[in-house]
Amino acid sequence: MAEKSSVVALLLAAGSGVRLKSPVPKAFVQLRGATLLQRSAKTLAESPSIDQIVVALPPDLTADHPLRASLPSGVTAVAGGPTRSQSVASALAAAAHSEVVLVHDAARPLLSVALVEAVLQALRLGDVDGAIAAVPLTDTLKLAAAAQDGGPPPPQSLPLVAATIPREGLFAVQTPQAFLRRALARALAQPPEVLAQATDDASLIEGIGGRVVLVPSFAGNIKITTEEDLKLASALLCALQRD
Ligand code: CTP
Ligand code: MG
């Protein structure tokens, strides 16, 4: 009998949240009665394809730290690293055997079970190394000039526009991102300076020639970066009547 294909979710919560300026690490910030980490973990746990959740935590969150009490039950906790990629590598090292892994930022607490299953389904069906949540860009994009253009100085030293970038074919990328485990492991074996620059895992796989597909997501799957994002997430939860 064929073995049920298992998926391990790597949940990244080891960042400190410098831009949010909160007294606790960002993943432990409250959003309508639950932490960002609890919300992300709950959705992953409710996704039928996910068998294990490995959470990368800030390295200084030692076993006796009071914040540990708020960790969702059933998750495997590991110490993350100084960069996002190092946190992914630490979580991957602690993951049970699985052909597929799903990476998610705890900073995106509004993900849905449907989105998790959609990226996993795209990976299963396609002959690809990765399948990632993405939304087509809707704003017009401008490139700011690196230096003055020789004309009169702009008001308040505001940046001048150097060019308008056609947005056709451009996507904003989110997590969750699903990968063949062997592809992710190969991507993470690149030199530290390459890993340190990466803001997502798909780019590391693309960098070694891997094939990645874009899976339609929803704009409400926002990343909490600033205080304004927390307010927006709270309003979205309210409007969508999600608890
Ligand atoms: N992350 C991580 N390990 C790191 C850095 C980031 O696990 N060394 C995780 C964060 O916890 C977050 C996700 O990667 O869930 C995306 O990172 P980001 O939004 O930049 O979060 P922070 O690094 O915490 O925020 P900031 O950059 O403002 O400090
Ligand atoms: Mg960061």
Q: Is the CB of 85 under 6 A from ligand 1?
A: no
Provide the 10 A C-beta neighbour count for residue 123.
Answer: 25
Whether 183 contacts 205, CB under 8 Å:
yes
The pLDDT value recorded for residue 175 is 98
Q: Is the CB of 107 under 6 A from ligand 1?
A: yes
Q: Is the CB of 147 under 6 A from ligand 1?
A: no
Of 73, 79, 105, 81, which is closest to residue 94 (Cα–Cα)? 79
**Residue for token pair 């079970």:** 113
Q: Which residue numbers in the chain have pLDDT < 50? A: 1-4
Ligand 1 test: best mutation among 24, 40, 84, most atoms within 8 Å of CB? Answer: 84
Which CATH class for the 7-136+171-242 domain?
Answer: alpha beta
The pLDDT value recorded for residue 5 is 65
Of 109, 74, 105, 64, which is closest to residue 88 (Cα–Cα)? 105
The pLDDT value recorded for residue 1 is 38
Residues lining ion ligand 2 (Cβ < 5 A) are 15
The pLDDT value recorded for residue 219 is 96
Q: Is the CB of 226 under 6 A from ligand 1?
A: no
Whether 13 contacts 54, CB under 8 Å:
no
Residue 17 Cα to ligand 2 middle (Å): 7
Measuring from atom 16 of ligand 1, which residue has the nearest CA? 105
| Token digits of residue 61 | 């969150």
* CA dihedral angle for residue 14, residue 137, residue 178, residue 72, rounded to 10 degrees: 40
Which ligand 1 atom minimizes the distance to the CA of 15?
Answer: 24
Residue 187 Cα to ligand 2 middle (Å): 20
Element (H, E) at 237: helix 227-239
Whether 12 contacts 91, CB under 8 Å:
yes
Residue 135 Cα to ligand 1 middle (Å): 21
Residue 104 Cα to ligand 2 middle (Å): 14
Residue 183 Cα to ligand 2 middle (Å): 24
